[in-house]
Amino acid sequence: MSLSDRLNEDMKQAMKSQDKFKLSVIRMVRSTIKNQEIDLKRALDDNEVLDVLTREIKQRKDSLQEFTKAGRDDLAESLKAELVILAEYMPQQLSEEEVKAIVQQTIEQIGASSKADMGKVMTALMPQVKGRADGKLINQLVQQLLG
């Protein structure tokens, strides 16, 4: 079952169970996906849907930090609940050790030796860990291993 199909099925299930919060989160994500499909004039594949989900999660994490700084715990709690729902559609996340091993392997394959090669490493690395690891963590590990 594709990611889009899964979102549709979960939306129907949320309607049946009258889970209004989950329903609103799924509808919002589906709306973003639909808008991108309209822009591209074609249906999105699973990788593109994953990109949309990753973007939505990143936006919420950024907003969560801002709300927490501002002392808006009510809004922060709502965002945390949305993040839990969105995380259900993401692939299994890699541990820091697994990411480090992939980074090390990629550096060796490319023959990178300094921070000047960081762009090459990141270009080769990102498709391997897409949606399965945080970009900030990857960036830190590449800098650490090249430094």
Q: Which pLDDT tens digit goes with each residue over 26-46? A: 999 999 999 999 999 999 998
Q: Which residues of 49-79 are buried (b: 16+ CB within 10 A; e: fewer)?
A: bbbbbbebbeebeebbeebeeeeeeeebebb
Is 96-146 in the same CATH topology as 3-87? no
- The CA dihedral of 53, 55, 58, 62, to the nearest 10 degrees, is -130
Q: Which fold has domain 96-146?
A: Arc Repressor Mutant, subunit A (1.10.10)
What distance in Å separates the CA atoms of residue 80 and residue 122, rounded to the nearest whole number? 29
Q: Against a cut of 0.85, is the pTM above it?
A: no
Q: Name the CATH architecture for the domain at 3-87.
A: Orthogonal Bundle (1.10)
Among 9, 61, 1, residue whose Cα is nearest residue 30 = 9
Among 72, 60, 12, residue whose Cα is nearest residue 32 = 60
pLDDT over 90 at 147, yes or no = no
What distance in Å separates the CA atoms of residue 118 and residue 67, rounded to the nearest whole number? 33
Among 23, 49, 25, residue whose Cα is nearest residue 37 = 49
Give the model confidence (pLDDT) of 58-75 as tens digits.
999 999 999 999 999 999
Residue type, 127: P
What distance in Å separates the CA atoms of residue 98 and residue 35, rounded to the nearest whole number? 35
What residue spans define the domains of the chain? 3-87, 96-146
